[in-house]
Structure 1
Amino acid sequence: MSEFPKKKASFPIGLTLATAIAFLILCGLGAWQLQRLHWKENVLARIEALKTAPALPLVQVLTEKARPEDLAWTRVSVDCGDVAGEALPLVYGVHDGDVVWRAQAPCAVLAGPYNMILIDRGLVPALTSQVAPPPRAFDPPRRVVGVLIPIAQLGGDRAKILDRFTGRKPAPLVLMAEVETPAPAGITPAPLPAEISNRHLEYALTWFGLAVTLLFIYAAMLWRRVRP
C-alpha cells in the first residue's frame, strides 16, 4: 500500500484575526486603566491639598465659564436662603458595611448663572442599618462650609432631585457639607470618604498580562498547527 503525504496545514487566518482583535481589546483596557490611574492620583492629590485649603465664597467659584468637573473638591462657603417645597428624600448609601442614609436640602443662592445648589448635609446616625427609614425633617441649612462634587459623579437619583425645582436654575454640583452654622441636630457631616482605593495600576498590569498570555497561547497553537 502506498502512503499519501500529509497535507500541509493552512495558515489560520480566522484564528489570527480573532487573536489580534482580542489582543487589541486587552491592551486598550490596560491603557484605559493607566488613564484612570493618572486621574485617581490627581483626585487624591486634590483631596490631600483640600485638607488645608481655605474656603472660597461660592459666588466667586461658580461662574459662567466654570465647568463642573473642574470644580470637584473645591472648598467653598455659602449663606443659604430658603427654598419653598417639601423636604427632600434621604439618600441611600453604605458606610463601613452598614446601610446609611444621608440628608440633603436645597440652598437658595445667587452664584453665577445659578440660583440654587443642592447640599449633602451628611449621615443620619439614628437611621443606620434601616432598610426603609421613616421620613425625617430637619431645620434648613444656613451657613455651610464644604466641598463641591459634580452631581454626575455621585450617581443614583441625585440629578433627578433637581427636576422638581422647575422655577430655579440649580447648579450641576452638590455641596458636601463639612460644617454648618448652626449645626443641625441629628446629622453628622461626612463629606469625604475615609479611604479611596487606587488599584488601577494593578488592574492595568492584569489586562496587559492577559494580553501577553494570549500571545503565548496563540504562538503555541500556531506552532502545533503549521509544524511538519
Structure 2
Amino acid sequence: MSEPQPKKPGFPIGLTVATGISFAILCGLGGWQMQRLHWKEDLLARVEKLKTAPAVPLASVLTATAKPEALAWERVSVDCAEVPGEALPLAYGVRDGDMVWRAQSACGIQAGGYDLILVDRGVVPGLTGQVQAPAKAFAGPRQVIGVLTPIQQMGGDRAQVFARYPGRKPAPLVLMAERETPAPAEITPAPLPAEISNRHLEYALTWFGLAVTLLFIYAAMLWRRLRP
C-alpha cells in the first residue's frame, strides 16, 4: 500500500495581499518624495533668485489676497510703528549645530488689512549654548529689511505671542531681519534657514528600493512554496 503524498501548499493569498498593500505604500511614499523634490527645487530656485532681489515695501506685497506661502522669501522693507506692551520672550533655535536664542519683536504696520507683524531680529550671541535664556528687553525695531517666512513654517510657539495683543490683526508671517536701522546692540541678524537641505531624491530612491526588495523577497518565498 503506497504512502499518502504530502499535501501541496496552496497559493498564499494572505501573503500576496499583504505584499501588494506594502508595495503600494512604499511606492506611494516614493512618489510623495518625488513631489517634494520638485517642490524643493522650485523653492531653491526662488531663494537663489531672491538673494539678489532688491527690497520692496511690505505694503506692496502683503495684500489682503496674498497667500503666506506665496510670499515666502520675499525681500521687503518696512518702517515699524511702536507696539505698546511688554517685550516678547526670546525664541529657542538651533543654528550651525549650536543652541541659540533669537530676539523677536512686534512691528506695527498697515498692510493688507493687518496692523502687526512679528520680526525675528536674529540671535543673541552672548546666550549661545545656554539651556535657559534670561528675560531680556531690546528697543523696538524701526526700519527693517528682511525676508518673509510663513509663521506656520517656523514651528514652536511663534504664533502664540500674538495672544499678547488682543484686538490686533497680526499678519501670518515672520519678517526675518537682515538689516535694521538703527542696528540693535547684542543682536546678530541671522535669517533662517542658513541652508535648505534637499535630500528628497535620496529618500525617494530608498522607498522605491525597499519596494523592489519586497518583490524579490515575495518572489523567493513564492517559488520556494510552490516549487515541485
- Fold conserved (TM > 0.5)? yes
Q: Which runs of 5+ in 1 are unaligned?
A: none
Q: Partner residue of 1:218?
A: 218
* 1:151 is the counterpart of 2:151: yes
Q: For the residues of structure 1 that align with 2:206 and 2:183, how far apart are their CA atoms?
A: 47
Whichever residue aligns with residue 203 of structure 2, its letter is Y
Query: How far 1:43 moved relative to its partner?
Result: 1.4
Give CA-to-partner distance per residue, 1:59-93, whole Å, 9 cap, x none. 11111110001110000100000111111010101
Q: Partner residue of 2:176?
A: 176
Larger deviation, residues 92-101 vs 210-219: 92-101
Q: Partner residue of 2:188?
A: 188
Tell me which stretches of 4 or more aligned residues in structure 1 moved more than 4 Å.
none
Q: For the residues of structure 2 that align with 1:110 and 1:71, how far apart are their CA atoms?
A: 17
Q: For the residues of structure 2 that align with 1:118 and 1:72, how far apart are their CA atoms?
A: 14
Q: For the residues of structure 2 that align with 1:42 and 1:86, how far apart are their CA atoms?
A: 40
Aligned residues: 228
Structural mapping, 1:1-228, within 5 Å: 1-228=1-228
Q: For the residues of structure 2 that align with 1:17 and 1:159, how far apart are their CA atoms?
A: 45
Give CA-to-partner distance per residue, 1:177-210, whole Å, 9 cap, x none. 0010000001000013332211110010000000
Give CA-to-partner distance per residue, 1:104-127, whole Å, 9 cap, x none. 000011001111100000010010
Give percent identity, aligned residues only: 73
Query: How far 1:35 moved relative to its partner?
Result: 1.0
Q: For the residues of structure 2 that align with 1:104 and 1:181, how far apart are their CA atoms?
A: 16
Q: For the residues of structure 2 that align with 1:183 and 1:224, how far apart are their CA atoms?
A: 73
Normalization by structure 1: what TM-score?
A: 0.98
SS at match of 2:45: helix
Q: For the residues of structure 1 that align with 2:182 and 2:132, how far apart are their CA atoms?
A: 28
Normalization by structure 2: what TM-score?
A: 0.98
